[in-house]
Chain A
Amino acid sequence: MKQFAELIRTLDSTNKTTLKVEALAHYFKTASDKDKVWTIAILSHRRPPRPVNTRLMREWASAFSKIPLWLFEESYHIVGDLAETIALVIPPSEESSEKSLNQFLQEIIELKARSEEEKKEYLYESWFSLNYYERFVFTKLITGSFRIGVSQKLMTRALSKATEIDEDILAYKLMGNWDPATTTFTDLVLEEKPEDYLSKPYPFYLAYAIEDEPQSLGDVKEWAAEHKWDGIRSQVIIRNGELFVWSRGEELVTDKYPEFEKFINLIPDGTVIDGEILPFPKNEIGTFKDLQTRIGRKNITKKLLEKTPVILKAYDLLEWKGEDIRENAYQNRREILEQLFTEVASEEIPLHLSSTISFQTWDEVAKERERSREVKSEGLMLKRWDSPYLVGRKKGDWWKWKVDPLTIDAVLTYAMRGHGRRSNLFTDYTFGLWDDEKEELVTFAKAYSGLTDAEFRKVDAWIKKNTLERFGPVRSVTPHHVFEIAFEGIAESTRHKSGVATRFPRILRWRKDKKIEEANTLEDLKALIPK
């Protein structure tokens, strides 16, 4: 644990990517194999299930620190991270534990089945046997995701530096389902074993938003355009008579989409399709809200399958006849995909093709983009016909060109402190729109992003001076500031007080030129719902 805590302390002591990579690479060269596997797991968000719920942790931490629970909670709201709050608030210890990271994690795994009293005792002993950084890291392992300014990509780069294995190959090896408790470093990283790759997806190729006008991409004939569908980007894998469905978050979601089992006997073994899972109620593409009824469910009932079936809208083909064809030109991959589609397509099979469209001029492309909302897409994807399928987010060959978002002017009504690098700053806002009589502001959305750091600081200072009431971490503020809120989609909702749900709301700009009377009404918002 000493070494891991020291690694985190070093990563915390620099803001420079090269130094972070150096520190990680050094760790991967010197740590024990078991600890290395756990470190990879933790930095790729594979932590053991939480053994103690956070309510109990907060209660115990406040008891051990001999401060009232409300004071612990207030401190937590301000610090913005539970593990950090606990490490700061409980009395300091100069001890340092000799236990390895692996040993701590084994204990954390075993802790889940223990009694509440045993858990409490374990936490007490651990907290008081660790120094600040060890304590912070230990608590973080228990409470939640380990976001410490090290992306999975950065970790992979460091691992590549330490092992001299190609970065893309490592990214591939680290994907998918593996259990850090039983996997060895040799198995996971060093050894090449083809049979392990049965369920393994390829790293997704992701696109950046186009920066200029598409004309800047050059000759339109070198480019294909297709609609960017609003569902779950996925890879569907058929190998050895088995089906695997992966979401972009590297989650294996095969069980959630039983419709796709029909692919097994139709699509030949050794096929990997990149596509979008879309809701398809009443034989047409639904909204993202429809899909949400499927995402969260553990039990996929027959009723749900009938009400909200899904389809796979296929974009690309990554593996064909057991061969990785990502290096082939996009055009070639599409040809094979389209041929496959023609052979298997029928009304019964939930496989659709996302059609690519060739254009003669960029103006025609722009016109097609205008149709996006009508066809229920988010905009267009532009792909170079001769491009390979790359790893991760890369510039150059693929671009997304989304439709401009819908926007509305709303009034800031509530604020909450943020987390992580926004701790102690009011950055999480709630916005309201006027009711019909323009008498009352009705909450319609929350947004956390879109302002610059400088703007956030200004709004934060204003909120602290203009608080009306406090409800735990939330403050209501004097209605005064108008913000233009952008969002991707809109649908009716019975779950929201406003009767409307918006998709991905964020702040577009601070409308200092507008008075609150000039903000929009709920009726204006409802007028944006597609009929």
Chain B
Amino acid sequence: MKTPLLVFNQKGIYCEAADVYLDPWKPVKKAIISHGHADHSRWGHQQYITHHTNVPIIKHRLDDISVTGKAWNETFTINGVKFSLHPAGHIVGSSQIRVEHKGEVWVFTGDYKTEDDGLAVPYEVVKCHTFITECTFGLPAFKWLPQQQVFNDINNWWQQNQDDGRTSILFGYSLGKAQRLLKHLDTSIGKIYTHGAVENMTEVVREIADLPPTEKITRDTKKEDIKGNIVIAPPSTHGSPWIKKMVPYVTASASGWMTFRGARRRRAIDKGFVLSDHCDWQGLLTSIKATGPEKVICTHGYTDIFSRFLAEQGYDARTEQTQYEEENAEQTSKEKD
């Protein structure tokens, strides 16, 4: 039996024919990276290959690394295996990785979403024989509303809090969610303040995308200046002393997990906005159908449930263990959906 084009081993998703890893979780020689989130672009590889818009992002995160940037749809060949990157729509600079060898095509999605968020280059369907898909939100309970509706809610919430004399604190992961939020905030309501981690990452993303002005909260920022405005901060700052400067404030989280009332209550957050950078249930099913694969491999999320459903729909579907964020809504330090 011939070795499959991609296998899942101890270090990551491995292409033996090219001796290359996709989003490996252990240090390797050569790694093709789908996007800049910490669980997909880890430290310690000798060589990184990624989309050129992701280069400044992973350089910011991983510092001194050897990295090559590629354009969308640009084919590069390693040991006779053809690779190319295609927009995944997850966050700025995120790609799907297409692998072709002897007429066989595999696509690894990394993380992706089907809705155009106005910031990341929108997701593109890539036909393949084997589709390796995430399924973070692979349950029929997850249904996203059009983002315009969600941002109307967010802006109304901000306006209401301002009318009540309160500051709005909106939690979102510093890479991806934070920029998506500030891109769509209505700056006629007030000013956007940021936590340092968000500000630094936003500076990097400004090289690639047009974003409204923000002001970093420092020791010198006056309490009364912040009042009634909005603050974008990483989820980890919830309940930290840093946040005390914002009193009186109202907190909200923007995440796919906010679908569950329990998830919001458990975190003791006031308001939950359902806004995700992943596919919802229907988004996953639609993209799988459009991709037209013979085989589907589910990597992270509700893998067992999702692959069982796919199998019932007639797909040859299975799951593989990876070390990307699992069916886990609890890793507050990295809530980056």
Which residues in A have some Cβ–Cβ distance to B below 8 Å?
Answer: 12-16, 65, 67-68, 70-72, 74-75, 78-81, 84-85, 88-89, 92, 149, 419-425, 453, 457, 460-461, 464-465, 470
Contact = CB atoms under 8 A, between A and B. Distances in A.
Contact of A149 (B260, B265, B271, B302): B265
B303 to A, nearest CB: 11
A92 B260 contact: no
Contacts of A89: 140-141
Contact of A421 (B140, B262, B326): B262
A424 B261 CA distance: 11
Contacts of B2: none
Contacts of B262: 79-81, 419-424
A15 B269 contact: yes
Nearest to B266: A421
A14 B271 contact: yes
A421 B257 CA distance: 13
Given A422-B262, A425-B330, A464-B327, A85 B270 contact: no
Q: Which 7 A-B pairs have the closest CB atoms?
A: A423-B262, A88-B141, A421-B265, A421-B266, A457-B330, A421-B262, A13-B271
Given A65-B140, A423-B260, A425-B266, 13 more contacts: A68-B312, A75-B139, A75-B141, A79-B260, A79-B262, A88-B142, A88-B143, A419-B262, A421-B265, A423-B262, A424-B329, A461-B328, A470-B304
A470 to B, nearest CB: 8
22 contacts: A14-B250, A14-B270, A15-B269, A72-B140, A74-B139, A74-B305, A79-B141, A84-B260, A84-B261, A88-B140, A89-B141, A92-B143, A419-B262, A420-B265, A421-B262, A421-B266, A424-B262, A424-B263, A424-B329, A460-B330, A464-B327, A464-B328
Interface in B272-321: 302, 304-305, 308-309, 312
B268 interface: yes
Contact of B330 (A13, A461, A470): A461
B261 A12 contact: yes
A422 B328 contact: no
B268 A424 contact: no
A333 B305 CA distance: 62
Contacts of A149: 265
B322 interface: no
Interface residues on B, range: 20 to 34
A423 B305 contact: no
Given A12-B261, A65-B140, A425-B330, A71 B309 contact: yes
A71 to B, nearest CB: 6
B259 interface: yes
A423 B140 contact: no
A6 to B, nearest CB: 14
Nearest to A14: B270
A80 B263 CA distance: 11
Nearest to B142: A88
B140 A422 contact: no
The A contact surface, by secondary structure, is helix
Given A71-B140, A79-B260, A422 B266 contact: yes
A13 B140 contact: no
Contacts of B266: 421-422, 425, 453
Contacts of A79: 141, 260, 262
A231 B141 CA distance: 43
Given A13-B271, A68-B312, A464-B326, A78 B302 contact: yes
Contacts of A75: 139-141
A253 to B, nearest CB: 33
Contacts of A457: 330
Contacts of A15: 251, 265, 268-270
Nearest to A74: B305
A425 B265 CA distance: 13
Nearest to A465: B326
B283 to A, nearest CB: 15
Contacts of B271: 13-14
Nearest to B312: A68
A70 B309 CA distance: 10
B319 to A, nearest CB: 13
A423 B263 contact: yes
Nearest to A79: B141
A453 B271 CA distance: 20
A65 B282 CA distance: 13
A26 to B, nearest CB: 14
A334 B269 CA distance: 47
A415 to B, nearest CB: 14
Contacts of A72: 140
Contact of B259 (A14, A71, A88, A421): A88
Nearest to A67: B140
A30 to B, nearest CB: 18
A88 B280 CA distance: 12
Contacts of A92: 143
Interface string B131-173: 0000000011111000000000000000000000000000000
A419 B261 CA distance: 11
A288 B330 CA distance: 38
A15 B328 CA distance: 23
Q: Choose among B141, B266, B271 the residue with the greatest number of A CB atoms under 10 Å from its CB.
A: B141
Nearest to A86: B141
A460 B329 CA distance: 11
Nearest to A87: B141
Contacts of B142: 88
Contacts of B140: 65, 67, 71-72, 75, 88-89
Contact of A71 (B268, B305, B328): B305
B270 A16 contact: yes
Contacts of A424: 260, 262-263, 329
Nearest to A84: B261
A80 B270 CA distance: 20
A453 B260 CA distance: 17
A457 B251 CA distance: 22
Interface in B164-215: none
Interface in B196-250: 250
Nearest to A77: B305
The interface centre, meaning the residue of A12, A65, A81, A460 with most chain B CB atoms within 10 A of its CB, is A12
B284 to A, nearest CB: 13
Contacts of B330: 425, 457, 460-461
A196 B85 CA distance: 77
A345 B219 CA distance: 74
Contacts of B251: 15
A85 B328 CA distance: 18
Nearest to B157: A13
In this complex, the member of A68, A74, A89, A461 whose beta carbon has the largest number of chain B beta carbons within 10 angstroms is A74
A424 B305 CA distance: 14
Contacts of A67: 140
A419 B302 CA distance: 18
Contacts of A68: 309, 312
